[in-house]
Structures are given as structure tokens and as C-alpha cells.
Amino acid sequence: MKSRKPHILPSAICLATGLFVHMLTPTHAAQPAEAYADFTADGTWCWFSSPRALSRDGKTYSGWATEDGSIQAGEVEHATGRVSTVTLHPQYQRDDHDNPAFVFLPDGRLMAFYTKHSGKNQVIHSRTTSKPGVFADWDPEVTLALRDDSPRNSGISYCNPHLLTAENNTLYLLWRGCSFKPTMAKSADFGKTWTPAQVVFSVEGLPKSNRPYAIYASNKKDRIHMIFTDGHPRNEKTNSVYYVSYRDGAFFKADGTRICGVDELPIRPAQADLVYDAKKTGVRAWIFDLAFDESDRPVLAYTRLPEETDHRYHYARWNGQQWLDTELCAGGKWFPQTKPDQKETEPHYSGGLVLDSNNPSVVYLSRPFEGVWEIERWTTADGGKSWKSEAVTARSKFDNVRPFVVNDHEPDGPTVLWMNLHGRYVHFTDYLTAIKMDRPAKTTRAQTAEVSRGQLTEKTAP
């Protein structure tokens, strides 16, 4: 067997940017992914539907799409490591874009949103736990009464729910609407009725099929941060990155400049904050994550794509006066397992990078070592000028990609989850992957549940 090079590298300087990176020996030695616990052995997700994992009261919740297209939610108890899984909708659609996103309602119940990625007459579905803290018991599935005036009846994807307490617990849902544009509606009764859908961001002068991508983050009180692109990097050779925030019925730049009111939507690129200008560099970008610091200033993670085989991981934050942008490292090429003699259909699918929403000076990312994608934790103490890095996984048998940091993660629970390609990932409709979490496998026990019966069957996890 060919020997691997050491995973932990000495201090180094990124010659492209002058960035100093000190590679740490981990506080807890990195382990192969196989030594970490499964949240599920059969689950996958995309990165545009979130929050897709969150913690409360000693438990962590997440959700995914299974190999057969079922939509599932999972709960892990921190004290025991016990995992419970419920099927929200069996055999919904075999597509990784369909993973559910979650929000806690004021009474403590958990609400999940999900939608199919393709097909005619698309709708958004939701389910809510019947009682606070009782994971096995869910109310029946609801089809959301969202009024979208687009003449299209397809294009919907990517659910993102956010509840703002300062607006009398108004529930906002942001998604890709029938127009393929970022779209928003709100509900004052926790999803029973909704305001008409409104396109939030639209690129003027481009074809109707143009599809800006968006990522959102909320302080859960009075603000929703948002980042957008011109479109998909396969279509937009100068795909740039833009920022706006919503607060009290209006949209603003990072410096507080008012852009427009809700009744003046959609926002055009020229009105928004330009975080990264691909027209100047000629290098297209794509977005991966968004968070905010203790002063509610935005921080984002994205990729620049000089070549389809050269994905560059970037970190940008608003320091109160300007956007500071740092290249962290090269992220390799795409991770899908391209079949021999076939052209890769998703060459912009990076291994992925995400921010710790509890502390956005921490980044988790996936990049290849010795032919296997591994998870790393990067930290900065000076706003991104210099970084320390340590391995989370090392010497893994299978690839580890698309990390996600649990929202409001607690000290005794998992912090980061990720996809492990123990089976395959050829395409977003052809996959068999696990969702891993950063806790030892031996501490975890698993349960499964059928929602319709509300019964749990316990088994010891492998």
C-alpha cells in the first residue's frame, strides 16, 4: 500500500496571497472519518437549504434526503449519544437539493420545510413536531399556501426559514421561487397563511432562466443577512458576490445605507454591496456560507474558480468600513465521482467551506489530501489576516465533503457535521452517503421511527 504524506503540515505561507498559515497539531488528534459517529448512514444534502442542523436543550437536530429520496429528520441526545430518525415524507424525490431546513417556534416546537428540486406544479411542504421536546411525534404534512405570481410552475428549491422575535415572532421563508430568483414571504401565524411571494434579487437584462443563488443568516431578532450571485457559475463567467440585509421592512447595505423598502423589490446588483467583483478579475465565484460577528457585521465564505479544476476558498468580512477578503487555500477540484470517459456535469461542486455561526472567526473546510477529501478547522484571531489550521479527519478511507456547523451548538454536542462518501456521489440524483458528526462512533446509539406510528425501535449503531 502506498504510504500517505503526513496530514498535519508545518507552518507555511500561501505564495499567492502572502497569507501566513500555521498548521497546528490538533488538541484532539485527527481521526479517520470512520472513527466518527454517523448521524445517519444514508443521508445527503445540498448547501443552499438551511439551517440544516441546530441544537437546543441538550439535543441536536438535522435532516437529509436518503438514497431512495425520502425526507428524514434526526435527533441526537448529547448525554447518551442516542440517535432517533423520523421519515417526514417517504420517497419524496431522489435529489440532494430536497433536504429539509429547520426553525424553532416560540413554544419550542421544531418546524421543517422542504420542497422538490424539479417537476411541474411544485409546492413547499412543512411538518411540525406536535409537542415541544417530543421528536417522534409530528403533525401531518402541510402544503404551504404561497402565492407566487410567476407564470412558471417549476423552479422552486432551497428552503430557508427564519423567525424574527422583534417583529412579533414573524416567520420569514426565503427560497428559490418559480422565477428561479431568490423569493420571500412572511407569516404572522407560523405558516398557516402567507403574504404574496416577492422576488428579492434579480439581475436586470439577463434571460428569464437566469438564476441568482442566495444564502441567508439571521440574528433571530430583527435582521436577516443575505448574499447573492449573478447566477450559476456554469452560466455566468463573471459571477460576482453581493450583500444586503433586511430589517424592519427595508433592505440595507453593510454600512447601513438604505437600499429600498419591501414594496420596492426586487433589488438590482448595482444597488447592493459588491463584495467580490468578478468582472475586474475575470474569475467567477460561488457562495457557500454566511454568518455575523458579535457586532452583527456580516462574514461570508465563498469560492473563486479560476479553473474548473482549481477551486479557491475565500473568507470575507465587513470590518465596519470596508470588506476585507482573504484567500484561505486551494480547495482542489470538484468532488463528484465523474464516470470514466464522461464530462463532469457539476464541475463547480467544491468540497465546501462553512463558518461557525457561534464564532465566525472559525471556518471548517473540505479539501483533498493524498486523493481523499478531509475536513479541517481554520481559526483567525485578527479578522482573517493570519490563520491556524488543524485536521478534523485524516487518513480517511472515503471522501468527506460539505461540512456544516450546527447552529447554536452546545459544548456537549456535535459542532460540525459533514457528508461521507462511503457509497458514492456521482450526481445530485445518484448518491449513497452518510452524515457524520464530530463525536466518537462508539458513543452513539441509533433509533429509527416511523412518523405515522410514532414508535421507536432502538438498535446499537455500528
Beta bridge partners of 290: 300
Residue showing cell 470514466 = 340
pTM of the shown model:
0.92
Residue showing cell 477551486 = 311
- Summarize pLDDT for 434-450 with one digit per residue, the tens: 999 999 987 556 666 65
Q: How far apart are CA 86 and CA 349, in angstroms?
A: 29
| pLDDT reported for residue 201 | 96
Q: How far apart are CA 267 and CA 260, in angstroms?
A: 8
Q: Which residue has the higher pLDDT, 246 or 26?
A: 246
Beta bridge partners of 87: 72
| pLDDT reported for residue 123 | 93
Q: How far apart are CA 244 and CA 252, in angstroms?
A: 6
- Summarize pLDDT for 20-29 with one digit per residue, the tens: 555 443 345 7
Residues found in the chain: 462
| pLDDT reported for residue 19 | 58
Q: Does pLDDT of 461 surpass 70?
A: no
CA 18 to chain centroid = 29
Domains annotated on the chain, with CATH: 12-460 (2.130.10.150)
Q: Supply the mean pLDDT for the chain.
A: 90
Distances (CA, A) of 114 to 28, 89, 175: 36, 10, 10
